[in-house]
Amino acid sequence: MVNRMQFYIDGAWVDPAVKKSTAVVNPATEEAMYEVALGSKADVDKAVAAAKRAFVTFSQTSREERVALLTKVIEIYKGRLKEIGAAVSDEMGAPLPMAEKLQAGAGLGHLMTTLDVLKNYHFEEPVGTAMVLREPIGVVGMITPWNWPLNQIACKVAPALAAGCTMILKPSEFTPTSALIFAEILHEAGVPKGVFNLVNGLGPEVGAAMSEHPDIDMISFTGSTRAGIDVAKRAAPTVKRVSQELGGKSPNVILEGADLTKAVTGGVMHMFNNSGQSCNAPSRMIVPLSKMKEVAAIAKAVADKTKAGDPRGEGTTIGPVVNRGQWDKIQGLIKKGIDEGATLVAGGPGLPEGVNKGFYVRPTIFADVTPEMTIAREEIFGPVLTIIGAKDEADAVQIANDTPYGLAGYVYGPSVEDAKRVGRQIRAGNVNLQGVPNDRTAPFGGYKQSGNGREWGKYGLEDFLEVKAVAGFNAA
């Protein structure tokens, strides 16, 4: 049984300083499954003290020791993949096969990629008479979201371990179980006590205490732009490093001459994946104005085949969104789209046909959307696609960049060369051409209000390292 009423601090399961809990609700049934303990500043203080003590020795471990540790973590993680997938599915609603393969699989992927990076990374580099040393930054506070829980936990914890950092993780209160299983995996793998600590809790209490803590050297945060601003403000007085991956309103530019069936079908399916709950979802499809009707018809056919239903049910394409608050917000934005004059092509407000409970959203598509409409500007975080017409390529690029966000961009052209030309002009941290998915060895992160810092691969490791120049190291 996963221990949900204690925290993992200094290598042991311990009671919270103050007894307080919240219900974890299954979004498919709207029923509470169990309670999870909520932490306070006192719990954060205890975890930070443990991490600070452990940093003295863990920061001095060799590459070989950390390689052996990550290898063991990977071995144990593989044995618990199905259990992690089931927990993610129950708590945030992803269809079970997708939760096992993509959600739990993403965590394993980051662990394995980080291990490969660690084996070959140059922590020392001669520069003139100096030696540039890359050293662990210190104690790291990690705040992770509910939408891709293991993806976000692993792409922070793995490089922090590889760097020689110690850490405190606050996972989302909506998806605590997969994080608790992860803590059990690290414990079984022999991660030294105090190196990894987990405190469940709410953002305004545990998250705020971590952001403000003078003994935390870095905050790695993934979540909404609104919450990210609060984290940065709280972190500012202690001048700690703040690495953030925030919201998005990513453009998907389909160029004149592209294979419309392939480009539109792939774009809609990607948008609906994970019920649209991905920060890099291609939520604004920008197409040649003359092709609007044709694009809308192709998109509608995909939406009509997308089945929102029981995450454990046969044939389910997408599950519910995570909670009532998200459902209400999405419904409000769908209504706004209708009220502001966008053409509703598929879906719309309310529950899908034949569904009478659960936080299910009808797979929804709007055509004839203009760039100033609310649904073209605000992050919806649900299975809702907006299709915007562009007069020409230059207009498409202008629309794509007309957003405060800059996490991702997508381009589909008649050729890779055409897609490359437009991809270079998109102001975003990640651009995918011709439907090719992200590469875990390449950096992930955003421009503008989508954040700063980078995760994944070598770039993710470097986010947890300080740079020291030692002059005279190489003097003759």
| Superfamily of the domain at 251-433 | Aldehyde Dehydrogenase; Chain A, domain 2 (3.40.309.10)
pLDDT at 390: 98
Q: Residue 112: CB partners within 8 Å, gap ≥ 6?
A: 74
CA pair distance 188, 181, nearest whole angstrom: 11
pLDDT at 275: 98
> Which 8-state DSSP code applies to residue 291?
G
Domain spans of the chain? 7-246+450-471, 251-433
CA pair distance 103, 295, nearest whole angstrom: 30
Is 314 catalytic? The answer is no
The class level of CATH for 7-246+450-471 reads: alpha beta
pLDDT at 92: 98
CA pair distance 238, 338, nearest whole angstrom: 46
Report, in angstroms and rounded to the nearest whole number, the Rg of the chain calculated over CA atoms: 23
SS3 letters across 149-165: HHHHHHHHHHHHHHHCC
Half-sphere exposure of 461 (CA within 13 A, CB side): 26
Which among 14, 15, 31, 11 is positioned nearest to 23, based on CA atoms? 31
Contact 277, 320 (CB under 8 A): no
Token duo for residue 420 = 């490359």
Query: CB 339: neighbour CB atoms within 10 A?
Result: 10
Cα 77 to its chain centre, rounded Å, is 19
- Catalytic one of 212, 245, 379, 455: 245
Is 455 catalytic? The answer is no
Give me the phi and psi of 19, to 5 degrees please: -75, 115
CA pair distance 462, 123, nearest whole angstrom: 10
Q: Residue 327: CB partners within 8 Å, gap ≥ 6?
A: 320, 321, 359, 361
Q: In order along the chain (476 residues), what is the average pLDDT of each group of 10 residues?
A: 95 98 98 98 98 98 98 98 98 98 98 98 96 98 98 98 98 98 98 98 98 98 96 98 98 98 98 98 98 98 96 95 98 98 98 94 98 98 98 98 98 98 98 97 98 97 98 84
The model's pTM is 0.97
Burial annotation 342-351 (CB, 10 A radius, 16+ → b, else e): beebbbbbeb
The SS3 call for residue 327 is helix
- Catalytic one of 91, 279, 379, 455: 279
Residue 59 burial by Cβ neighbours in a 10 Å radius (0-12, 13-18, 19+) = middle
CA pair distance 431, 377, nearest whole angstrom: 19
pLDDT at 476: 63
> Which 8-state DSSP code applies to residue 101?
I
